[in-house]
């Protein structure tokens, strides 16, 4: 106690400050490179991004080594702000480094890539016919085919929907017995990123008549005139 009084409070304050400085800065500075998640935010409701983007980007972070060692890449992400997108096309968009939430004292030195290309398109809706497909052995054919529902409504990027003119069912295998049939079928998975049915859990019903034939070519003969007959079954 006498020594503390002799040296005085300013001296001990200086000692404590030096000790704290050594504890903090004595650990050394450093940098680390890590892969962090890439997120796209604020996409307008009537627009969609149709190209594939990288799941992650590489960032280099500098600061105190102790803080760097404590970083968890899973808690970090880099975002792309798509709020300004309004027209279809290919747009080069800078990555928003400010969205990376880092502890005080750490900073971003480098990000690779520092921008991404976005292929943007309008979301449109189209109504297409449902076309039944059959897996029949030679010598058999179907007639008077009725599909319910006969049309489906799709939503998705215009660039992909414009290439479609129908929606096929998965090939149906019928029991080889002549006469009327009534089966359920699924639609072939839709090609093109972002295309989906507006009606969820849609069930396709296919009715018609199965007969033997002389020709070896499988045919499908739609006949809406017999729909009332089939609906009564």
159 and 125 Cβ atoms separated by less than 8 Å: no
pTM above threshold 0.85: no
Mean pLDDT of the chain: 82
| Nearest of 89, 173, 160 to residue 125 by alpha carbon | 160
> Does 14 fall in a domain?
no
> Does 9 fall in a domain?
no
Among 25-34, 78-87, 181-190, the minimum mean pLDDT is found in 25-34
Domain boundary among 103, 122, 141: 122
Tell me the residue range of the domain where 191 lies. Answer: 132-231
**C-alpha span between 161 and 37 (Å, rounded):** 30
> Does 32 fall in a domain?
yes
Please indicate, yes or no, whether residues 99 and 149 belong to a single structural domain of this protein. no
- pLDDT for res 223: 56
The pLDDT tens digits of the residues spanning 28-42 come to 778 888 888 898 888
Domain boundary among 122, 152, 182: 122
What CATH number does residue 95 fall under? 2.170.120.30
> Does 49 fall in a domain?
yes
Please indicate, yes or no, whether residues 49 and 106 belong to a single structural domain of this protein. yes
Please indicate, yes or no, whether residues 97 and 41 belong to a single structural domain of this protein. yes
- Of 218 and 33, the structure prediction assigns the larger pLDDT to 33
**C-alpha span between 128 and 9 (Å, rounded):** 86
> Does 198 fall in a domain?
yes
Residue 230 corresponds to which tokens in the numbers above? 């089939």
Domain boundary among 122, 157, 178: 122
Please indicate, yes or no, whether residues 108 and 170 belong to a single structural domain of this protein. no
Alpha helices in 97-147 (DSSP H): none
Mean pLDDT of all residues in 173-193: 89
How many domains does the structure of the chain reveal? 2
Please indicate, yes or no, whether residues 118 and 142 belong to a single structural domain of this protein. no
> Does 23 fall in a domain?
no
């Amino acid at each position: 106690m006498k020594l503390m009084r002799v040296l005085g409070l300013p001296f001990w304050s200086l000692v404590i400050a030096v000790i704290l400085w050594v504890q903090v800065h004595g650990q050394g500075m450093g940098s680390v490179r890590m892969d962090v998640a890439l997120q796209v935010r604020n996409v307008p409701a009537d627009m969609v991004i149709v190209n594939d983007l990288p799941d992650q980007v590489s960032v280099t972070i500098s600061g105190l080594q102790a803080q760097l060692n404590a970083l968890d890449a899973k808690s970090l992400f880099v975002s792309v702000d798509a709020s300004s997108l309004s027209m279809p096309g290919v747009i080069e968009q800078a990555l928003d480094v400010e969205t990376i939430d880092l502890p005080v004292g750490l900073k971003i030195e480098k990000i690779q890539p520092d921008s991404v290309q976005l292929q943007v398109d309008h979301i449109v809706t189209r109504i297409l016919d449902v076309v039944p497909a059959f897996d029949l052995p030679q010598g058999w054919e179907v007639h008077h085919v009725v599909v319910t529902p006969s049309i489906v409504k799709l939503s998705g990027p215009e660039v992909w929907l414009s290439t479609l003119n129908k929606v096929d069912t998965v090939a149906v295998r019928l029991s080889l017995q002549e006469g009327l049939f009534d089966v359920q079928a699924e639609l072939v998975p839709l090609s093109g990123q972002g295309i989906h049915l507006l009606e969820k859990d849609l069930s396709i019903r296919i009715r018609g008549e199965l007969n033997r034939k002389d020709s070896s070519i499988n045919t499908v003969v739609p006949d809406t005139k017999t729909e009332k007959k089939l609906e009564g079954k």
